[in-house]
Structure 1
Amino acid sequence: MSLAPTSIVLSSPSPSNWDPENVSFPEEFAWGASTAAYQIEGGWDADGKGPSVWDTFTHQGGDRVFKNQTGDVACGSYTLWEEDLKCIKQLGLTHYRFSLSWSRLLPDGTTGFINQKGVDYYDTAIDSLLANGVTPVVTLYHFDLPQHLEHQGGWRSGAIVAAFDAYAQFCFRTFGDRVKLWLTINEPYVLATLGYEEGVMAPGIKELGTGAYQSAHNMIKAHAVAWHSYNQLFRKKQGGLVSIALNSDWAEPFDPNSPADQEAAKRHMAFCLDWFATPIFLDGDYPAIMKSKISAVCKRQGIPSSRLPEFTDAEKMMIKGTADFFALNYYTSRKMKHQENTNAQPSMSADKEAEEVTDPSWPVASGSSWLAVVPWGLRRLLKYIKDTYNHPIIYITENGFSQSDPAPLDDTQRWEYFKLTLQEILKAIYIDGVQLKGYFVWSLLDNFEWTCGYRSRFGLFHVDFENPALPRVPYKSAIEYAKVVANNGLVKSQE
């Protein structure tokens, strides 16, 4: 059975008879915003917190991050949680997604020492969200591995699987009486490729051709083992759901009439989304396209066996079906050209033999040169997930558009992008029949945007990082988003 749809080109994304302002979102649709611990909390060494790989990475300097900025203070959310809660309430959100800092809870990454101050911080956040009618959506791991575990090999080491499982069980046991929506790992694709292959993100490991595949292999196993722990030990009593947050671009063939470009687009999807989704949602193994392509490239390079690790039959059985819903992070789309790999130097990006091209007609978010704004790409991606992965329940756990610093509070252009995106989501639900249950904006606050530091602003709320009080002020998009949440649908434009 083919794991990809027969054609990557869909019909026109804009039916002429469609009026999204007359259509509500489904009942009990989840309206949210997302954040991540390292990006907002600050307090990097407060109250017994251990160092994470991002603390180490940013403190090493060397222009790895814009202006050598760090997340040492960030939005100060560790001490300003009440201010964050005010923002959440002002938006009227039904859900709030945030991540736990592994090294704030377990300073050396193990349950040998539990930092009660960290537990107290997250207890307060969870309890106050619930008291205000907001459902917490908790990510166990969002890029900030405890440095102690990285010293032992990090995600390249098979030992990380048991370490992650112990951490996950600790979190389920500690917070699972109140948290019913869990995400194990955020964007394993980004961490594998940028953290362990290209080395441009923490932990800064550059192992071309092997680093991404080995770290991803262990992340998939860690996720699956943690899912089984929840399923066997906690689900009956706690009644929650567990998944993994996968990011993906949408890929279009550069020349829609070129079979080579059509195949390149399919390969991009295989090497991006399907790399993780196929084993977890379908059959416990990597996509056939990915396996055959890497194997063929390795043969040409004189490498006796594939650089892509193999799962055992027992591991395939263990991995298959380990997600209770599909969590998707979407930002942009690309056009794909076939590109022959003549590179003697192994690399994951060269293995897929597809060149990414940004259509010059697509607008680009001012704060991120990589972020071409393609709302209809999200609709096509949602349809692809429906068709490829057996019609799962889907939550969009991140979607956003950045402004460059200094960012105007009147972000009219950005709100237009949000509005277009929500229109495409409505089409996906009502025309394409996608089971979409929620939408989360990245991000609640302007924050530390990894290697872009504080120059790239994704927040619904502006944060003045020059002011020690770190005040939060709503952008126009926050005010407009709050109207959509209250209306459970787009609000008719006032002429």
Structure 2
Amino acid sequence: MAPWAAVVVWLLAESAWCASHLKFPSGFKFGAATSAYQVEGAWNTSGKTPSTWDTLTHNRPQLITDGSSGDVACDSYHQWKDDIQIASELGLDFYRFSISWPRLMPTSFPDEINEDGRRYYDNLINGLLDKGIEPIITMYHWDLPQRLQDHGGWSNPLIVEWFEEYARVLYKLFGDRVKNWVTINEPFTICTIGYAIGAFSSGVHDPEVGTYLCIKNVVMAHAKAWRLYHKEYRKQFKGRVGISHQLFYLHPTSEEDEEIASLAHEHYYGLYSHPVFSKEGGWPPGIEKVIEKNSKMQGFTRSRLPAFTDEEKELAKGAYDFYGFNYYTSRKIRRRRDGESLGQLSPMRNIKELDAILEVDRGWDRAACFWFYVYPEGIRKLLSWVKNQYGDVEIVITENGYSTKPESGSNDYDRIKYYRDHLEQVLLAIHEDKVNITGYTAWSLIDNFEWNDGYTTKFGLYEVNFDDPNRQRTPRASAKYYKNVIQTNNIEIPKKFSTITDEL
């Protein structure tokens, strides 16, 4: 072995040893998460009206791997006490869940509040607080009221005002007890993936124009909801409002691909983050120029990326209390070679706007989801990317988790290893990179309806028996591991977890 190679091996070993002895700082919080459509069920009871996912799964079941839906899901609408008990057993500091807009506001507007829906969320919030668990509420986790989708959904600029009205109702009803809010979960999935594949945008396929209309409206809707809280509710309730972004690291294949990788990060995350978190506001300049240039070459009279007015730019800039950070997977990126086809257009395979190809490293393990490859170092690199782009902003990791197949059962060592390896990278980001990270959220608390995968993949710390009318929840080995992390502030895997019979 060459001397330099020996040094590299020693440094890697030293880094791993240091990470295993690092601790999360005082005040660091651990939680777990779910979302309304994925767990609640009761899709048409107690006054709830259809969401876009109700419509999609009923009218186009072929888009779901197993043709299933969230009609019953985990039946958390009726089994909410079980969810609270699970959260308490794990020792969670917080539980992140979302509100179903059409369950609470069946007309989509504040002229009617569904009392059954309100009672459900009141019970859940109060039950968590009684157990000493902090509720973190996501206002919007993809289940848009179908009525609003019929009027254009996220491509209609009026949704900015509709979302502000919805946020006002939430603050009024629950703001006295809920101190941490996430306005919108993963705008990247809603807009970039949604309008590219049609599933997360209710079947609308328009990546060239629809995606960018959606992006601007999501940014402005978040900004309006944040400004509303800041102006009318912060003094009374003393809470915080953020937004959760999905990021997956785009690793340049070679030195020649570093520029395209930088632009790709602007395209996939900067378009959503830069208007809110940067000091200058507005769109990230690099990708803004690329889209404008491409638009003119295509014959458009103006950029397909809608411009901000000065007033809009100021409204969005600084509209945050924390940066919600979701991470699962990564990709390698390179320019398309001469004569090479981009292939089937997909945000997980290519970026047409940049004429770039996305690939996976042969050394990365694959999880159950077709898109999910494991690269723990990616979370640390992206945490540092956020710091480098936007300064010492507070980051709350609002999702991180691993998918398995149903037949994997409760002995989910791969999930434990995923959590351990990613928590190690989070520790290194905190202690070595000095990234301001204050919380970590495991996705997910329980198995659920996993969007286009239906029930063919599982993310839960707890296994759910979907054949049982009561949807029995059973702890997996990963639940025991995560509980141990919370109790001991130690990420290493105890030897006893090699025996699944250990009680939680």
- Same topology, TM > 0.5: yes
Is 1:391 the equivalent of 2:392?
yes
State the match for 1:322 in structure 2: 319
In 1, Cα distance between the equivalents of 2:12 and 2:230?
41
SS, match of residue 97 in structure 2: strand
Show CA shifts across 1:377-413 (max 9, x none): 1001111111111111111000011001223211112
Q: AA paired with 2:417?
A: E
Pairwise CA distance, 1:227: 0.5
1:333–1:377 CA contact under 8 A, matched in 2? yes
The residue number in structure 2 matching 1:462 is 463
Aligned to 2:369, the other structure's residue is in SS state coil
Q: Is the 8 A contact 1:160 1:218 kept in 2?
A: yes
Partner of residue 332, structure 2? 335
Q: CA deviation at 1:304?
A: 2.4
User: Does the 8 Å contact 1:249/1:334 carry over to 2?
Assistant: yes
Label 1:269 to 1:15 Cα distance change in 2 as closer, same or farther (>3 A): farther
Do 1:182 and 1:242's aligned partners in 2 also have CA atoms closer than 8 Å? yes
Contact 2:79 2:470 (8 Å CA) reproduced: no
Deviations along 1:202-259, one digit per CA (max 9) or x if unpaired, are: 411111301111011111111101100000000001000101111110111011x32x
In structure 1, the residue matched to 2:191 is 192
Aligned to 2:181: 182
Q: Secondary structure at the match of 1:113?
A: coil
Which of 265, 285, 300 is 1:269 aligned to?
265
CA distance in 2, matches of 1:285, 1:350: 23
1:294 matches 2:291: yes
For 2:306, the aligned partner's letter is P
Q: Which amino acid aligns with 2:295?
A: C
The CA distance in 2 between the partners of 1:409 and 1:232, in whole Å, is 47
**Map of 2:282 onto structure 1:** 285
Matches within 5 A, 1:92-107: 92-107=91-106
- 1:374 match: 375
Contact 1:483 1:491 in 2 (8 A): no
Distance in 2 between residues matched to 1:174 and 1:96, nearest whole Å: 19
Q: Match for 1:290: what amino acid? A: I
Identity of aligned residues (%): 39
Q: Which stretch shows the higher mean deviation, 431-440 or 190-199?
A: 190-199
Over 3 Å counting, the alpha-carbon distance change for 1:364 and 1:347 in structure 2 is closer
Matches within 5 A, 1:32-181: 32-181=31-180
Q: Aligned ranges for residues 345-494 of structure 1 at < 5 Å?
A: 349-365=351-367, 367-491=368-492, 493-494=494-495
- Contact 1:126 1:178 (8 Å CA) reproduced: yes
Q: Please report how far the alpha carbon of residue 417 of structure 1 lies from its aligned counterpart in structure 2 after TM superposition.
A: 1.3
TM-score (norm: length of structure 2): 0.92
Q: Aligned-pair distance for 1:113?
A: 0.9
Cα shift readout 1:400-440 (whole Å, capped 9, x = no counterpart): 11001223211112211111111111100001101110100
- Give the letter for the 1:396 counterpart: I
Q: Match for residue 3 of structure 2?
A: none
Q: CA deviation at 1:273?
A: 1.3
Corresponding residue number in structure 2 for 1:201:
200
2:43 aligned partner, one-letter code: W
TM alignment of 1:224-263, pairs within 5 A: 224-255=223-254, 257-258=255-256, 261-263=257-259
1:16 aligns with 2:21: no
Distance 1:302 1:229 in 2: 39
Give me the whole-angstrom Cα distance separating, in 1, the residues matched to 2:132 and 2:467: 33
Cα distance 1:62–1:454, how it changes in 2: closer, same or farther (>3 A)?
closer
The structural deviation recorded for 1:492 is: 6.2
What is the CA–CA distance in structure 2 between the aligned matches of 1:61 and 1:292, rounded to whole Å? 38
Deviation, structure 1 residue 62: 4.5
Q: Could you report, residue by residue, the CA deviation over 1:68-109 in whole angstroms, capped at 9, with x for unpaired residues?
A: 100000000000001111111111100110000001100121
Q: Distance in 1 between matches of 2:484 and 2:202?
A: 40
- Note the alpha carbon deviations across 1:35-63, whole angstroms, 9 max, x for none: 00000000001100111000001000340
Please give the alpha-carbon distance, in whole angstroms, between the structure 2 residues aligned to 1:302 and 1:202: 26
Contact 1:264–1:353 (Cα < 8 Å) also in 2: no
**Any unmatched runs of 5+ in structure 2?**
1-7, 497-504
State the Cα deviation string for residues 120-174 of structure 1 (Å, max 9, x = none): 1001111111111111110000000011111111111111111100000110111
Residue 499 of structure 2 corresponds to which residue in structure 1? none
1:347 deviation in Å?
9.7
Q: In the superposition, relative to structure 1, how do residues 414 and 175 fare at CA in structure 2: closer, same or farther (>3 Å)?
A: same
> What is the distance in 2 between the residues matched to 1:198 and 1:491?
39
- Mapped contact 2:410–2:475 kept (Cα < 8 A): yes
Shift of 1:489: 2.6
d(CA) in 2 for partners of 1:62, 1:171: 32
Matched, 1:310 2:307: yes
Residue 4 of structure 1 corresponds to none
Query: How far is 1:491 from its partner?
Result: 4.2
Distance 1:479 1:347, change over 3 A: closer
AA of the residue aligned to 1:410: N
Question: Is the 2:481–2:493 Cα contact (8 Å) retained in structure 1?
Answer: no
The 1-side partners of 2:52 and 2:489 are apart by 40
Greater Cα shift, 286-295 or 162-171? 286-295
Q: Indicate the SS of the match to 1:334.
A: strand
Pair 1:62–1:482, CA change in 2 (3 A): closer
Whole-angstrom CA distance in 1 between matches of 2:473 and 2:346:
42
Distance, in Å, in 2 between the alignment partners of 1:165 and 1:478 is 37
Secondary structure at the counterpart of residue 63 of structure 1 = helix
Kept after mapping to 1: 8 A contact 2:61/2:68: no
Amino acid at match of 1:264: I
Note if contact 1:55-1:70 (Cα within 8 Å) is conserved in structure 2: yes
Q: 1:371 to 1:153 in 2, by over 3 A?
A: same
**TM (normalized to structure 1)?**
0.94
